[in-house]
Structure 1
Amino acid sequence: MQERTLRIDAGRFTVRLAESDEDVAAAQRLRYRVFVEEMGATPSPDDRALRRERDAFDPYFDHLLLIDNHAKPADPLDGVAGVYRLLRGDVAKQGCGFYGESEYDLTKIKEYPRGTVELGRSCVDIAHRGGAAMHLLWTGLGRYVAEHSIEIMFGVASFHGSDPTKLAMPLAYLHHNHLAPEDLRVRTREEFFVPMDLIPADQVVRAEAMRQIPPLIKAYIRLGGSVGEGAYVDHAFNTVDVCLLMDTSRMVDRYREFYQRASRGATDRILG
């Protein structure tokens, strides 16, 4: 974890970076509820006992937290309503590497000459989905990339379920319409490569594809995001993964728009 200056107070919610081991543990508790209890990921025995989803990369990431200031949980670790974890390229180069390297050949990202950040483990508590929560997390993310002069953000995003054939339509839609430019087109490692173009472009039904694409992936695409080549089946997490990449200039504009509207008392148009 790095500097702890980022903080956004927005009435009921606060967005800030984790400041302590307990903050990180609270993020891991929310991840456990979402990825293990909801989505069926397989935890280790220790994680199951603690009800925390953890891995060896957590100490290197910044953890962006969404806190519901109205919540009064019996266990303090249950007080986080949303999380993102963020690993800047300059930190990864110090020795830990990127989490996504276990799934994708990230050479093009590692050789990119300007600021990058890997995103991961994004989730929102079920009680706060469909409202302001994700918008606020994205606002915090926009501020983070602006403060650190980050030009490219990327990360693994997931479809629920581990059978790519059941996701042929949305995977093909992303491949045929939103494939990353060649200079940033990362590729699934050869031993894990799952083709995404399972359906020819002229047979893709956009409405059906969009119905199956998770909201987070849709949000990246709306902001100009693209995908790497090939998918990855993560059996431990019960997901099919794609690697999303995005130029951050649109995210920074979103962050600035939020503050311009907030100063005029018009945040509803951004937050819900």
Structure 2
Amino acid sequence: MRAFRAGRYEARLAETEDDIRRAQGLRWRAFRAARGRGKVVATDADSFDAICRHVLVEDRWSGAPVAAFRLLDLRNGAEAGRSYSAQFYDLSALAAYPGRMVEMGRFCLDPEWHDPDILRVAWGAMARHVDEERVEMLFGCSSFQGTDVEAHLDAFALLCARHLGPERWLPKEKAPDLFRFAARLRGRVPDRRRAMQGLPPLLRSYVAMGGWVSDHAVVDPDLGTIHVFTALEVNRIPAARARTLRGVAESCL
């Protein structure tokens, strides 16, 4: 992925160990410090960092990292089992997927920054990577804050009603602590406004582009979140939305 600039922000691949540490530091602030976790170690790191490419979105005026995510490129669905998501979801159904895939992981925004252009630039970077690598499916885990499922019932009811994945690709259960929202909330009419407000920004972007989710969520006590497997088949992105994403990527330096 080539680096590019949009307004005051620049998205680029991490090139040095220091770049990766800065991404890990942002992840710590977003996933752990902001939720009262990991107060001793000021980085969020795991074994997957070594096999992924890392993307930083930085404020050009101050040099501060304002968003980060990592990419794990896979030749096809037969390799999905080595992804981060496969720790929590049985992805054996995806083994037959023939196209190139990429897992987008540890996506985070600096909790003190609220400029919508940051998310736009991050997705522009992702669109450029998809085109350059001819990726056919994006997937990952989208996290809700906290581990109280009752606080997110409208959001999960909306996912159940409108965004469940096709049965042939759906992950099976694997993790010990699950919320089977499709079974529990089927037929429930969500408060749409509350549901949309409750969707994490990354998940909101996924479903707006035609993405889909698993029929169950996983409670992650390590990060203090509830996450749901999320996937986006690139050829199903609405044409107008695809043009917008490519326009962002192509208009940037």
Please, what TM-score do these two structures have when normalized by structure 2?
0.88
Cα deviation, 1:14-38, whole Å, max 9, x if unaligned, reads: 1111111111011001011111111
Report the CA distance shift for 1:191/1:127 in structure 2 as closer, same or farther (over 3 A). closer
Structure 1 residues 204-255: Cα deviation after superposition (integer angstroms, max 9, x where no partner): 3323322322222111111111101211000111111111110124375333
Bigger drift between 171-180 and 201-210 goes to 201-210
User: 2:132 maps to which residue?
Assistant: 147
Once the two structures are TM-superposed, the CA of residue 190 in structure 1 deviates from its matched residue by 6.0
TM score, norm. by length of structure 1 = 0.82
**1:248 partner amino acid:** V
**More displaced, 197-206 or 208-217?**
197-206
Deviates most, 89-98 or 169-178? 89-98
State the identity %: 28
Partners of 1:166 and 1:96 in 2: how far apart?
Answer: 31
For structure 1, which runs of at least 5 residues remain unmatched after alignment? 73-78, 264-272
Q: What are the within-5 Å matches in structure 2 for residues 205-216 of structure 1?
A: 205-216=191-202
Which residue is 2:58 aligned to? 67
> 1:124 pairs with 104, 109, 130, which one?
109
Aligned mate of 1:30, from 26, 30, 48: 26
Pairwise mapping of residues 75-224 of structure 1 onto structure 2 (< 5 A)?
79-90=64-75, 97-189=82-174, 191-197=176-182, 198-224=184-210
Q: Deviations over 1:36-56 (max 9, x none)?
A: 11133x43x8xx34x111011
2:244 is matched with which residue?
254
Contact 1:142 1:254 in 2 (8 A): no
**Counterpart residue number, 1:14:** 10
Matched, 1:53 2:79: no
**Aligned residues of 2:14 and 2:20 also touching (Cα < 8 A):** yes
Counterpart check, 1:235 vs 2:226:
no
Q: Deviations over 1:130-187 (max 9, x none)?
A: 3311100100000001111110101000111102133222112201211001222123
Q: Which residue of 2 aligns with 1:268?
A: none
Amino acid at match of 2:59: D
Specify whether residues 229 and 24 from structure 1 end up closer, same or farther in structure 2 by C-alpha distance, changes over 3 A only.
same
User: Which structure has the greater CA radius of gyration?
Assistant: 1
- The amino acid across from 1:14 in the alignment is E
| Deviating more after overlay: 183-192 vs 96-105 | 183-192
- Inter-partner Cα distance in structure 2 for 1:19 and 1:169: 41
Take 1:8 and 1:153, find their aligned partners in 2: how far apart are those partners? 21
Tell me, in whole angstroms, the C-alpha distance in 1 between the residues paired with 2:65 and 2:115: 16
- Structure 2 residue ranges without an equivalent (≥5): none
